Structure 1
Amino acid sequence: MGIPGLSSWLTKPENYPDIIIPCEEDGQSASHSVKFDNLYLDMNEIIYLLIGSHSSSPIQKEENEIIQSVFISIDRIFSIVRPQKLLYMALDGVAPMAKMNDLRKGRFLHFKKQENKCFDTNLIKPGTPFMSKLSNCLQDYIRYRMNTDPAWRSIKVILSNANVPGEGEHKIMDYIRQQRAEQDHDLNTYHVVYSADSDVILLALTIHTNYFRILRISPSNDTELQRYEFINLAKLRTNLENDLKVPDIFQWNPERAIDDWVFLCFLAGNDFFPNLPLIEFYRKNMNFLRDIYKESSGYLTENGQLNMNQLKKFLTRVAEKQVEIFEKEDQGHNQANNNQPAFSIDSVKHQLSRGNPSTIYLGPPRMNPQRAVPISKKETVKPSSTVPQNSRQRDQRYGEIEQESSEISINNDSNDSARLRGKSWHKKYYREKFNIDLSASKEFPTEVAQDYVRGLHWILQYYFKGVPSWDWYYPHHYAPFACDFSNVKDVSVVFNKTSKPLKPLEQLMAIFPPQYANYLPKQWQQLILDKESPIIDFYPPDFKIDLNESSGYLTENGQLNMNHLKKFLTRVAEKQVEIFEKEDQGHNQANNNQPAFSIDSVKDQLSRGNPSTIYLGPPRMNPQRAVPISKKEAVKPSSTVPQNSRQRDQRYGEIEQESSEISINNDSNDSARLGGKSWHKKYYREKFNIDLRASKEFPTEVAQDYVRGLHWILQYYFKGVPSWDWYYPHHYAPFACDFSNLKDVSVVFNKTSKPLKPLEQLLAIFPPQYAKYLPKQWQQLILDKESPIIDFYPPDFKIDLNGKREESQGVTLLPFVNKEDLLRALESVYSTLTPEEEKRNRHGYDRLFIHTKNPCYKQFSTLYDNNENQITETNPLHISTKLIEDMTGKIWADNDDTFVRIDAPIEDPITKKKIKNNQVLSVNYRNLRFHGDFNDIKYCLNEGDQAINTN
Structure 2
Amino acid sequence: MGVPAFFRWLSDKFPKVISTVIEEHPKTVDGVVLPVDTTKANPNGEEYDNLYLDMNGIIHPCCHPENKVAKPAPATEDDMMIAIFEYMDRIVNMIRPRKLLYMAIDGVAPRAKMNQQRSRRFRASQLAQIEHEAADRVAKELEAIGQQHQLPEKKEHFDSNCITPGTPFMAHLATCLRYHIAAKQNSDPLWKNLKVILSDATVPGEGEHKVMEFIRVERSRPEHNPNTKHVMYGLDADLIMLALGTHEPHFKVLREDVFEDKKTKGACFKCKQHGHAAHQCPVSPEALEEMKREEAKNAPPKPYVLLHVNILREYLEHALKFNIPGIAWDLERAIDDWVFMCFFVGNDFLPHLPSLEIREGAISTLSLLWKSTMPMMGGFMTHNGDVDLKRVQALVTELGKMEDTIFTERKDAEERRSRGAKRRRLENDRRARETKTFDPNGPNFGDMTAAPVYNPNAGMSNAEIIANRAQIRIANINAAAALKAELSGNPIPDPAAEEMNERGTKRKLEEDDEEEDDGDEENEELLAEADQTMEADTPLSEADAVEKGRAILKRVQDEKKEKEEAARQREPNDEVRLWETGWKERYYKAKFNLTLIDKDEIRHIVKSYCEGLIWVFKYYYVGCVSWSWYYPYHYAPMASDFTNIDEFDIQFEKSAPLRPFEQLMGVLPAASKAHIPKPFHDLMTEGDSPIIDFYPTQFEVDMDGKKWEWQGVVKLPFIDTARLLEAMATVYDQLNEEEMIRNSEGPSVLYVSETHKAYNFISTVYTKRSTNEKMVLDARLTDGLTGEIDKDSECIPRSTFRTPLPDFDLPDIANDKSISVTYSLPRFPDGFTFSPQLLRGLKLENSLGYEDLQLATFEKIDTRQRYQSNRGWTAQVNHMEDYREYNDQRSGRNRGGGRGGYQQQGYGGGYNHGYDDGSRFPGTQSYSGNYQYNQRGYNSYHQQHSQQTYGSNTGFYGNQQYYQNTNPGGGYGQQQQHGYGGYHRGNSNQYGGNRGRGGYQQQGYGGNRGGGYGNSRGRGNSGYY
For Structure 1 versus Structure 2, the TM-score category normalised by the shorter chain is: 0.5 to 0.7
Name the structure 1 match of 2:761.
Answer: 859
SS at match of 1:732: coil
Q: CA deviation at 1:920?
A: 0.8
Residues in 2 aligned to 1:844 and 1:329: alpha-carbon distance in whole angstroms: 49
The CA deviation string for residues 449-503 of structure 1, in whole angstroms up to 9 with x for no partner, is xxxxxxxxxxxxxxxxxxxxxxxxxxxxxxxxxxxxxxxxxxxxxxxxxxxxxxx
Which residue pairs with 1:26 in the alignment?
24
Match of 1:877 in 2: 775
| Residue 149 in structure 1 maps to residue 149 in structure 2 | no
Q: 1:81-92 counterparts in 2 under 5 A? A: 81-92=95-106
Which of 221, 224, 242 aligns to 1:182? It is 221
Deviations 1:561-593 (A, max 9, x none): xxxxxxxxxxxxxxxxxxxxxxxxxxxxxxxxx
Match of 2:593? 689
Which structure is larger by alpha-carbon Rg, 1 or 2? 2
Are 2:913 and 1:913 equivalent residues in the alignment? no
Provide the residue aligned with 1:268 in structure 2: 345
Measure, in 2, the Cα distance between the counterparts of 1:346 and 1:785: 55
Letter in 1 for 2:584: H
1:37 aligns to what? 49
Match of 1:235 in 2: 311
Q: Sort the Cα spacing of 1:91 and 1:348 in 2 relative to 1 into closer, same or farther, 3 A.
A: farther
1:901 counterpart (782, 797, 801): 797
C-alpha displacement of 1:598: 6.7
Query: AA paired with 1:790?
Result: I
| 1:921-936 correspondence runs (5 A) | 921-936=819-834
1:785 aligns with 2:694: no
Pick closer, same or farther for the CA change 1:602–1:185 going to 2, 3 Å: farther
User: 1 CA distance for matches of 2:823 and 2:717?
Assistant: 38
Shift of 1:675: 2.9
Residues 908 and 110 of structure 1, relative CA distance in 2, 3 Å threshold: closer
> Partner of 2:170 in structure 1?
131
Work out which of the residue numbers 773, 784, 793 in structure 2 matches 1:886.
Answer: 784
Counterpart of 1:668, as a letter, is: P
* Counterparts of 2:416 and 2:801, CA distance in 1: 77
SS in 2 for 1:671: coil
C-alpha distance in structure 2 between counterparts of 1:230 and 1:606, whole Å: 56
**1:817 is paired with a residue of what secondary structure?**
coil
Partner of 1:39, secondary structure, is strand
Contact kept? 2:179, 2:801, Cα under 8 Å: no
Q: Which residue among 742, 745, 750 is the counterpart of 1:840?
A: 742
Aligned counterpart for 1:597 among listed residues 512, 527, 533:
512
State the AA in 2 paired with 1:774.
I
Going from structure 1 to structure 2, the CA distance change for 1:331 and 1:775 (only over 3 Å counts) comes to same
Q: Following the alignment from structure 1 to structure 2, what is the Cα–Cα distance between the partners of residues 758 and 860?
A: 31
1:9 aligns with 2:9: yes
Is the Cα contact below 8 Å between 1:268 and 1:281 reproduced in 2?
A: yes
CA distance in 2, matches of 1:685, 1:699: 11
Q: Structure 2 vs 1, CA of residues 902 and 311 (structure 1 numbering), >3 Å: closer, same or farther? A: same
How high is the TM-score relative to the length of structure 2? 0.59
CA shift in 2, pair 1:89/1:338, >3 Å: closer
How big is the shift at 1:843?
0.9
Of 748, 759, 774, which aligns to 2:661? 759
Are the counterparts in 1 of residues 179 and 804 from structure 2 also a CA contact under 8 Å? yes
Answer whether contact 1:63 1:119 (CA < 8 A) is retained: no
Instruction: Give the counterpart letter for 1:244 in structure 2.
Output: L
The corresponding residue for 1:75 is 89
Superposed displacement of residue 603, structure 1 = 10
Partners in 2 of 1:604 and 1:830 — Cα distance? 60
Q: Tell me: CA distance 1:58–1:49, structure 2 relative to 1, closer, same or farther (3 Å).
A: closer
Candidates 765, 770, 775, aligned match of 2:672: 770
Call closer, same or farther: CA 1:793–1:7 in 2, change over 3 Å: same
Secondary structure (helix, strand or coil) at the match of 1:110 reads helix
CA distance in 2, matches of 1:797, 1:768: 14
1:768 touches 1:783 (CA, 8 Å); kept in 2? yes
2: CA distance between counterparts of 1:606 and 1:780? 46
- Describe the superposition over 1:646-688 as per-residue Cα deviations: whole angstroms up to 9, x where unpaired: xxxxxxxxxxxxxxxxxx9987332243133321121111110
- The 1:129–1:604 alpha-carbon spacing in structure 2 relative to 1, beyond 3 Å, is farther
Equivalent residues of 2:109, 2:657 under 8 A apart: yes
Counterpart for residue 400 of structure 2: 319
CA contact (8 A) 1:845 1:924 kept: yes
> After superposition, what is the alpha-carbon deviation per residue over 1:238-295, rounded to whole angstroms, capped at 9, x for unaligned?
1111111112352110111111111111110011111111212123222111110111
Aligned counterpart in structure 1 of residue 582 of structure 2, from 678, 683, 686: 678
Aligned twin of 1:301: 382
**Deviations 1:799-839 (CA, angstroms, capped at 9, x unpaired):** 11342322222211111112222111111011111212111
Q: What secondary structure sits across from 2:687 in the alignment?
A: strand
Q: CA deviation at 1:176?
A: 0.9
Deviation at 1:169, TM superposition (A): 0.7
- Cα gap change, 1:777 to 1:947, in 2 (>3 Å): same
Gap change, CA 1:9 and 1:601, over 3 Å in 2: farther
Which residue does 2:558 correspond to in 1?
none
Are 1:205 and 2:282 matched, yes or no? Answer: no
Aligned counterpart, 1:716:
619
Q: Is the 8 A contact 1:700 1:742 kept in 2?
A: no
Q: Whole-Å Cα distance in 1 between the matches of residues 249 and 420 of structure 2? A: 54
Contact 1:211 1:945 in 2 (8 A): no
Aligned-pair CA distance for 1:944: 3.9
Paired positions, count: 648
Native 8 Å contact 1:799 1:812 kept in 2: yes
Cα separation, partners in 2 of 1:61 and 1:835, compared to 1, 3 Å: farther
Letter paired with 2:212: M
1:182 partner SS: coil
SS state at 2:124 partner = helix
2:261 matched to 1:221?
yes
CA contact (8 A) 1:153 1:851 kept: yes
2:58 — aligned with what?
Answer: 46
In the alignment, the residues of structure 1 paired with residue 617 and residue 660 of structure 2 have an alpha-carbon distance, to the nearest angstrom, of 25
Task: Give the strand-richer structure, 1 or 2.
Answer: 1
Please point out which of 703, 711, 716 is paired with 2:606. 703
The offset of 1:859, in angstroms, is 3.0
**Is the Cα–Cα contact under 8 Å of residues 175 and 804 in structure 2 kept in the other structure?**
no
SS at match of 1:214: strand
Residues in 2 aligned to 1:841 and 1:20: alpha-carbon distance in whole angstroms? 41
1:850/1:330 CA distance change after superposition, 3 Å:
closer
Contact 1:94/1:165 (8 A) holds in 2 = yes
Secondary structure of the corresponding residue to residue 231 of structure 1 = strand
The one-letter code sitting in structure 1 at the alignment partner of 2:256 is I
- Does the CA contact (< 8 Å) of 1:210 and 1:948 recur in 2? no
Q: Deviations over 1:347-400 (max 9, x none)?
A: 9999xxxxxxx9xx99xxxxxxxxxxxxxxxxxxxxxxxxxxxxxxxxxxxxxx
Question: 1:762/1:950 Cα in 2 relative to 1: closer, same or farther (>3 Å)?
Answer: farther
3-state SS of paired residue (2:580): strand
Task: Provide the identity percentage.
Answer: 35
Residue 11 of structure 2 aligns to which amino acid in structure 1? Answer: T
**Partner SS, residue 709 of structure 1:** helix
Which structure 2 residues correspond to residues 605-684 of structure 1 after superposition, within 5 A?
668-684=572-588
Task: For 1:607 and 1:74, locate their aligned partners in 2 and report how far apart those are by CA, in whole Å.
Answer: 58
Distance of 2:178 and 2:251 partners within structure 1: 27
The 1:248/1:332 distance shift into structure 2, 3 A limit, reads closer
Matched, 1:194 2:90: no
Match of 1:847, SS? strand
Report the equivalent of 2:714. Answer: 812
Structure 1: segments with no counterpart, 5+ residues:
351-357, 363-593, 610-663
Cα–Cα, structure 1 residues 58 and 34, in superposed 2: closer, same or farther, change >3 Å? closer
The alignment yields a C-alpha RMSD, in angstroms, of 3.6
Aligned AA for 2:318? N
